[in-house]
Amino acid sequence: MTKFVVDASVVLHLASAGAKAPDAHELLAPTLLRSQALSALHEAVHRGEIPADVARAVSPTSGGCRSGFWATPCSGVEPGTWRTSWAGPRPTTEYVALTQLQADAFITLDAELARSVKGIVEIGSIDALT
């Protein structure tokens, strides 16, 4: 089983497409995923990128997410994660620390974030989840 840490960009992409990660993968995320995903949904609706009814359907608070990601157990950040995230030459995100401690790769659709953590963790492709 491959373990991937995914951020809100990946979860929202897959959820809005009605996609589901293969059972051969375990998806992990820090607990802040829910609040980041809700914020991203709100912003996308107000920019006109997605209709409000689609946002409500994939919202982690709706209970009706087609993809089932919100029901997927996500590992919270353990105390050691904070030490790991600040141990390198520059601070990294909770996603990166979680990847270092528990996963095989980090998947994000944020190209700038992916570039900034290159060499710190393995970056996976969205194609691995579809």
Helix H or strand E encompassing 4: strand 2-6
CATH code, 2-129: 3.40.50.1010
In whole angstroms, what is the distance from residue 88 CA to residue 91 CA? 7
pLDDT, residue 76, reads 45
Domain ranges in the chain are 2-129
Q: Taking the alpha carbons of 16, 20, 25, 31 in that order, is the dihedral positive or negative?
A: positive
Give the mean pLDDT per block of 10 residues along the chain (130 residues). Answer: 89 78 85 83 87 74 41 45 50 78 93 89 90
CA distances from 70 to 63, 86, 90 (A): 8, 28, 31
pLDDT, residue 20, reads 76
φ, ψ for residue 77, nearest 5 deg: -85, 125
- Amino acid found at 108: T
């996308």: which residue's tokens? Answer: 44
pTM of the model: 0.73
Q: Taking the alpha carbons of 71, 36, 123, 92 in that order, is the dihedral positive or negative?
A: negative
